[in-house]
């Protein structure tokens, strides 16, 4: 009975060994793949966009992004870098890790590129403006009120009034129109037709 218990205990201890053969404290392959992919994408973002901004330090921004990634995956910086050095020292593990990351990136790229295009949302046309929309100002100046329009201000004394217009008789006023004496069309007198016998 003791021998059977010892054999079962040994089988249990051997069966609880890490299936990947990784030592304790090293991230499993799937977890390392997810974290490493996020770190690569963060470094790419920093290289493409943040380094162009002269007001930001690229290394500091990259470190901030890595801290956010580690918090997202609930690991520490030391866990990631110890796992990274372990995978880097074992080239077959690192090669398979990088191949799976590359394949996942390609799948995501093709999923985005060849996805069905989204149907455009129909535009609803309404003659009633939305309550949140601000109406544009139609007049650049304020419109004067009726009282302002009715008040007439006298001209200042320095302005000399214009003289009243004078009417000059035109030589064409007394000209008689030319009326033709004869009509323009000639009238032709027709002879009465005689009946044919």
From residue 193, how far is each of 29, 189, 190, 196, 197 by CA, in Å? 124, 12, 9, 9, 12
pLDDT at 192: 66
Instruction: Return all residues near 173 (Cβ < 8 A) that are at least 6 apart.
Output: none
Query: Residue 69: which of 105, 27, 35 has the closest Cα?
Result: 35
**Is a pLDDT exceeding 70 seen at residue 7?**
no
**Tokens coding 39:** 């770190």
pLDDT at 87: 92
In a domain, 122, yes or no: no
pLDDT at 80: 93
In a domain, 185, yes or no: no
In a domain, 75, yes or no: yes
pLDDT at 136: 60
In a domain, 57, yes or no: yes
**Is a pLDDT exceeding 70 seen at residue 72?**
yes
In a domain, 95, yes or no: yes
Percent of the chain with pLDDT over 90: 26
Pick the most confident of 140-144, 152-156, 181-185: 152-156
- 97 vs 14, which has greater pLDDT? 97
pLDDT tens per residue, range 93-108: 999 999 999 999 888 8
Domain that holds residue 65: 27-113
- 159 vs 138, which has greater pLDDT? 159
In a domain, 47, yes or no: yes
Average pLDDT over residues 170-196: 61
In a domain, 143, yes or no: no
Give the pLDDT band (50/70/90) at residue 47. Answer: confident
The count of C-alpha atoms lying within 13 angstroms of the C-alpha of 171, restricted to the half-sphere facing its C-beta, is 0
Report the number of distinct structural domains present in the chain: 1
pLDDT at 4: 45
**Is a pLDDT exceeding 90 seen at residue 164?**
no
Backbone φ/ψ region at 178: left (φ over 0), alpha (ψ -120 to 50), beta = beta
Query: Residue 29: which of 107, 101, 105 has the closest Cα?
Result: 101
- How high does pLDDT run on average in the chain? 75
Percent of the chain with pLDDT over 70: 53
Report the distance separating Cα 23 and Cα 17, nearest Å.
Answer: 9
């Amino acid at each position: 009975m003791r021998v059977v218990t010892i054999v079962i205990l040994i089988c249990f201890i051997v069966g609880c060994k890490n299936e990947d053969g990784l030592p304790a404290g090293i991230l499993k392959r799937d977890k390392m793949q997810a974290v490493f992919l996020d770190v690569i994408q963060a470094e790419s973002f920093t290289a493409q966009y943040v380094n162009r901004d002269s007001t930001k330090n690229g290394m500091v921004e990259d470190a901030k992004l890595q801290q956010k990634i580690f918090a997202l995956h609930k690991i520490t910086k030391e866990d990631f870098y110890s796992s990274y050095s372990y995978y880097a020292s074992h080239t077959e593990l690192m090669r398979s890790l990088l191949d799976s990351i590359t394949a996942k990136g390609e799948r995501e790229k093709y999923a985005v590129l060849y996805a069905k295009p989204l149907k455009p949302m129909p535009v609803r046309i309404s003659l009633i403006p939305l309550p949140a929309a601000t109406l544009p100002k139609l007049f650049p100046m304020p419109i004067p009120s009726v009282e302002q329009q009715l008040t007439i201000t006298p001209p200042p004394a320095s302005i000399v009034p214009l003289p009243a217009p004078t009417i000059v008789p035109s030589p064409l006023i007394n000209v008689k129109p030319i009326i033709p004496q004869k009509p323009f069309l000639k009238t032709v007198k027709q002879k009465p037709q005689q009946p044919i016998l």
